[in-house]
Amino acid sequence: MTIQAQSYGPIAGELINSGERLTVIAKFERSLYLECETGGLICLGHLVIGDGPLNILAEFNDRFSVGADIEIDLSIATPWAPTSVNLSGGRAKAALARLDAGMVVVPPRGLAVKDETPVSQRTDPAREALVDWYRSDRETLPPEVPIRALLGLGEGLTPAGDDLLVGWMLGLQTTGQKLVAERLYQRIQSLAPDLTNAISQAHLAAGARGLASAALHDLLLALSGVGGVTDALKRIDRIGHSSGWDALAGLRDVLKT
């Protein structure tokens, strides 16, 4: 069965163009996750899920079940790639001010608010340890303990702790700290196979390249002064249960540090 794609993200495009067989490994209401022979993952979704690095958007029916093979035709599809944003130096402070002003209008949730849930109780010390590392020791690999505490922590497809780490890596990439982001991912990559699921690992790998959902990139653009922060936050609010906010919490940790 060949599906005509309408748009595709950079990682999904690379995997499709490698010509590998794609097999459905997970099925959701509006999307399927496909695994390539070499282990890479693609999210095939209906248009409503929006663009992202792993995403291929298309109209398709839900006949496919786990284990089915699918072919995807990109010939008429539009490639999606985020607009590059630079929030380094003094721009980070201005971005943080815009973000905090927006969060007054659009109330945050998930890890972007202080609360006493079991997940928050575990993430708070880990976030503090990451901030300490970033402030004083960023030339070395981050400590193992906070990464171990965060990976796989929380419900759902991409656990809140993983989303937070994606936000950290996105923040580091955007503020010109690419080497630091690489060190962070080096530690994540060494621990993730035992601590979180394969789908979330694929999103972490995308985060290491500075890639995340289009809604997060739209927010980065708005934080740089292009577009409305409030509208962008409303789109963040619609990602998963609180995945958008969890990633945003990581991004904010970087901006304020």
Residues making contact with other proteins (CB under 8 A): 25-26, 28-29, 33, 46-48, 59-63, 107, 109, 118-119, 122, 149-157, 159, 161, 194-199, 235, 237-238, 240-243
- Residue ranges of alpha helices (H) inside 90-197 are 90-105, 118-136, 144-150, 160-174, 178-195
Q: Which is nearer to other proteins, 158 or 175 (CB)?
A: 158
Burial of 66 (0-12, 13-18, 19+ CB in 10 A): exposed
Distance (Å, rounded) from C-alpha 243 to C-alpha 239?
A: 6
Minimum CB separation of residue 108 from other proteins in Å reads: 11
Q: Which is nearer to other proteins, 209 or 241 (CB)?
A: 241
Beta carbons within 8 Å of 118's beta carbon, 6+ residues apart: none
In order of 21, 22, 68, 163, 191, the CA distances from 35 in angstroms are 8, 5, 11, 21, 21
Minimum CB separation of residue 56 from other proteins in Å reads: 15
Q: Which is nearer to other proteins, 83 or 117 (CB)?
A: 117
Minimum CB separation of residue 120 from other proteins in Å reads: 11
Minimum CB separation of residue 158 from other proteins in Å reads: 8
Q: Which is nearer to other proteins, 235 or 252 (CB)?
A: 235
